[in-house]
């Protein structure tokens, strides 16, 4: 022990030098605007690169489950193929000549960072403005709805997760009733369960009903799974159900997601803003 102290004493000038240099560097980073910006932008880039590398390593080990998810999704798409159906000839039939116009486009993205243990969780994705990503776009995984994009840089974007007590709400559809009702939110407790709010207790809701995105779920196409009703409670003093939904997404395991690009979004927003302008001018 004595020899350790002796050694440290003999190197006192080096320790002093390192300490004072560290203090100076902290002062440079803390108090100089230009240096602060440089430091934060570079450490952010570095941490993103480390996260990406880390994520790619884990991706490799998660290939099996990812493969299974892709297989299931493929199967689902295959079931919808036209070749699966046979034309049944009838004596009387109608012809609907319909022109299909594409509304949604999807971009695959990798999850770089993801949290589930906070009250307000966010997900960082490896797609940014260079891929055409914008704020407000929906994000879903093969299992279901994941979140909405809130911040975008050149190569990365941050999505507010469904597991966010303040930033995420969605108007769902109850698949079995084919009816758009209530709001899905997270209460900040268990990341496997969501709450379905504002549904009148006199509605014929049942446990096991599937909750999916509705035509009014902004930024998402219809019928993307959100979850399944697991429990329903009513209180005599309250007007609404207390419905618990088992989330269709395991948020701890999401690795690959799709970002939804609504090709009509700007047109709709423009129309709505014109209407708003008119109503404010002539109330």
Partner 1 sequence: MIFSVLRFLALYVLIVIIQLFLLNNIFIGNTWAFLFQPQLIIMFLLFLPPSMSHSWMIVVSFAAGFLFDVFFQSWGEHAAVSTLIGFVRHYSTRDIDNAIGARIEDNQIWTSKKGSSWKWVYFLVFIGLYHLLFLWINGLGHNFFTRIIPATISSTLITFAIILLLENLIYKPSRN
CA nearest neighbour of 214 among 224, 227, 229, 201: 224
Return the sign of the alpha-carbon dihedral for residues 194, 199, 202, 203. negative
Q: 14 or 70: whose CB is closer to partner 1?
A: 14
The least distance separating partner 1 from the CB of residue 6, rounded to whole angstroms, comes to: 16
Give, rounded to a whole angstrom, the gap between the first and last alpha carbons of the chain.
Answer: 84
The least distance separating partner 1 from the CB of residue 155, rounded to whole angstroms, comes to: 22
Is residue 47 classed as helix, strand or coil in its secondary structure? helix
Q: 29 or 232: whose CB is closer to partner 1?
A: 29
Q: 17 or 106: whose CB is closer to partner 1?
A: 17
Q: 25 or 268: whose CB is closer to partner 1?
A: 25
The least distance separating partner 1 from the CB of residue 46, rounded to whole angstroms, comes to: 15
Place of tokens 């407790």: 189
The least distance separating partner 1 from the CB of residue 248, rounded to whole angstroms, comes to: 48
The span from the CA of 107 to the CA of 217, in Å, is 19
Task: Kindly list the residues in this chain that would bind partner 1 in the complex (CB under 8 A).
Answer: 12-13, 16-17, 20-21, 23-32, 34-35, 38
> Which residues sit opposite 136 in a β-bridge?
none
The least distance separating partner 1 from the CB of residue 7, rounded to whole angstroms, comes to: 15
The C-alpha angle with vertex 174 and arms to 169 and 179, in degrees rounded to 5, equals 100
Q: 31 or 202: whose CB is closer to partner 1?
A: 31
The span from the CA of 140 to the CA of 272, in Å, is 26
The C-alpha angle with vertex 145 and arms to 241 and 259, in degrees rounded to 5, equals 155
Length of the chain: 283
Place of tokens 């009702």: 181
Q: 20 or 268: whose CB is closer to partner 1?
A: 20
Q: What is the DSSP letter of 200?
A: B
Q: 11 or 189: whose CB is closer to partner 1?
A: 11
The least distance separating partner 1 from the CB of residue 266, rounded to whole angstroms, comes to: 38
Q: Which phi and psi angles does 132 have, rounded to 5°?
A: 90, 15
The span from the CA of 125 to the CA of 111, in Å, is 5
The least distance separating partner 1 from the CB of residue 35, rounded to whole angstroms, comes to: 7
**Token digits for 178?**
């084919």
């Amino acid at each position: 022990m004595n020899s350790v102290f002796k050694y440290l004493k003999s190197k006192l000038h080096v320790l002093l030098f390192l300490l004072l240099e560290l203090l100076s560097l902290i002062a440079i980073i803390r108090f100089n605007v230009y240096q602060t910006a440089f430091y934060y932008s570079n450490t952010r880039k570095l941490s993103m690169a480390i996260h990406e590398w880390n994520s790619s390593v884990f991706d490799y080990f998660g290939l099996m489950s990812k493969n299974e998810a892709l297989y299931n999704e493929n199967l689902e798409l295959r079931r919808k193929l036209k070749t699966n159906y046979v034309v049944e000839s009838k004596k009387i039939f109608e012809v609907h000549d319909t022109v299909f116009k594409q509304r949604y486009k999807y971009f695959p993205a990798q999850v770089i960072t993801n949290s589930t243990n906070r009250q307000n969780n966010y997900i960082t994705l490896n797609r940014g403005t260079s891929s055409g990503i914008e704020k407000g776009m929906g994000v879903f995984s093969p299992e279901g709805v994941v979140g909405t994009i809130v911040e975008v840089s050149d190569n990365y974007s941050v999505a507010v997760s469904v597991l966010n007590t303040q930033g995420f709400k969605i108007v769902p559809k109850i698949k079995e009733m084919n009816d758009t009702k209530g709001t899905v939110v997270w209460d900040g407790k268990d990341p496997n369960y969501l709450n379905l709010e504002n549904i009148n207790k006199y509605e014929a809701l049942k446990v096991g009903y599937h909750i999916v995105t509705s035509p009014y779920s902004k930024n998402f196409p219809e019928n993307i799974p959100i979850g399944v009703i697991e429990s329903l409670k009513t209180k005599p003093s309250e007007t609404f159900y207390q419905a618990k939904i088992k989330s269709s997404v395991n948020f701890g395991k999401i690795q690959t997601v799709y970002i939804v690009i609504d090709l009509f979004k700007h047109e709709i927003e423009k129309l709505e803003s014109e209407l708003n302008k008119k109503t404010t001018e002539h109330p």
